[in-house]
């Protein structure tokens, strides 16, 4: 069976317990339709890139499924009906990734890094320093 990865975002005013229950119900839908849930990760409450239905934050959850398309289609249909789900996205993947997802790795590394280090942003201030040139009107120096 094909492998799928699904991420859904739940509203910010929903409790973490309710998000877990939603994730369990979506997983049950896939399992009842001949699929299998390989992994579920909760990424917690995170800030959205832009407002979605007046929400600035959302509860993110990641699934990995080994399921037929029919099972995924039924799960997505239920996600569309559920008014607590802001957005979802399902993609077909070639193989299951090993270890924690990139989001969880990033949060673990962020705790170990000293404050102020930002990876690709290092040295940004040095690169954009202003020169001390003085400009003059034409003819003057």
Do residues 14 and 59 touch, judged by C-beta distance below 8 A? yes
Query: What is the reported pLDDT for 1?
Result: 83
Q: pTM of this prediction?
A: 0.72
As assigned by CATH, the class of the 3-94 domain is: alpha beta
In the chain, what are the domain boundaries?
3-94
Q: Do β-strands 3-11 and 85-93 pair in parallel, antiparallel, or remain unpaired?
A: antiparallel
**Looking at 60-69, 75-84, 113-122, which range is the least confident one?**
113-122
Asked if the model's pLDDT at residue 115 lies above 60, the reply is no
DSSP class of residue 38? E
Averaged pLDDT score across all residues of the chain? 82
DSSP helix/strand/coil, 79: helix
Band of residue 128 on the pLDDT scale cut at 50, 70, 90: very low
Asked if the model's pLDDT at residue 118 lies above 70, the reply is no
DSSP class of residue 14? S
Mean pLDDT for 37-56 is 91
Query: What is the reported pLDDT for 132?
Result: 53
pLDDT in tens, 12-31: 999 999 999 999 999 999 99
């Amino acid at each position: 069976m094909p492998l799928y990865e699904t991420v859904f975002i739940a509203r910010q005013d929903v409790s973490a317990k309710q998000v877990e229950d939603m994730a369990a119900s979506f997983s049950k839908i896939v399992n009842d339709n001949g699929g299998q849930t390989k992994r579920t990760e909760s990424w917690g409450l995170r800030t959205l890139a832009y407002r979605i239905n007046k929400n600035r934050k959302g509860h993110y959850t990641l699934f990995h499924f080994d399921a037929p398309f029919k099972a995924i289609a039924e799960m997505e249909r239920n996600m569309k009906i559920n008014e607590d789900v802001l957005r979802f996205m399902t993609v077909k993947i070639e193989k299951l990734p090993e270890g924690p997802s990139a989001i969880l790795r990033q949060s673990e590394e962020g705790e170990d890094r000293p404050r102020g280090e930002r990876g690709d942003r290092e040295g940004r201030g040095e690169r954009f320093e202003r020169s001390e040139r003085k400009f003059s009107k034409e003819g003057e120096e």
